[in-house]
A = this chain, B = another copy of it.
Amino acid sequence: MDCEVVAIGTELLLGQIIDTNSAWIGEQLALHGINCRFQAKVGDNVDRIVSAIRIALDRSDAVICCGGLGPTQDDLTRQALAAVMGVELTFDEDRADLIRWMFRGRNRRMPDNNLTQAYRPAGSEFLETQPGTAPGLRCPVGEGGKQVIYAVPGVPWEMQQMVSVEIIPDLQRRSGVTSVLRSRTLRTWGESESGLAERLSERISELDELGNPTLAFLASGAEGLKVRITAAAPTEEEAVELLAAEEQLLRGLIGDFVFGLDDQTMEAVVLAALRERHLTLAVAESLTGGLLGARLSAVSGASDVFVGGVIAYTAQVKREQLGVPDGPVVSEETAAAMALGVRQRLGADVGLAVTGVAGPTESEGRPVGTVCFGVALGDDVSTFELRLPGNRQAVRELTVISVLDALRRRLTI
Chain A residues with CB under 8 Å of chain B are 10-20, 22-28, 30, 36-45, 48, 51-52, 55, 59, 70-74, 105-109, 111-114, 131-132, 154-155, 157, 183, 185, 192-195, 197-198, 201, 204, 216-221, 226, 228, 230, 283, 285, 287-298, 300, 302-303, 306-314, 316-317, 320-321, 345-347, 358-360, 369, 387-394, 396
Contacts and interface: CB of A to CB of B under 8 A. Distances in A.
Contacts of A293: 285, 289-290, 293-294, 311, 313
5 cross-chain pairs, A with B, having the tightest CB-CB distances, nearest first: A289-B297, A290-B293, A15-B27, A290-B290, A15-B23
Contacts of A369: 106
Majority DSSP secondary structure for residues of A touching B: mixed
A40 B40 contact: yes
Contacts of A48: 37-38
A166 to B, nearest CB: 17
A360 B300 contact: yes
7 contacts: A15-B26, A16-B216, A51-B59, A290-B309, A294-B396, A298-B392, A298-B396
A364 to B, nearest CB: 13
Nearest to A51: B59
Contacts of A14: 26-27, 30, 36, 183, 230
Contacts of A290: 283, 285, 289-297, 309, 311
Nearest to A22: B41
A285 B218 CA distance: 34
B55 A216 contact: no
B294 A113 contact: no
B311 A197 contact: no
A16 B226 CA distance: 10
A297 B310 contact: no
A392 B300 contact: yes
B389 A16 contact: no
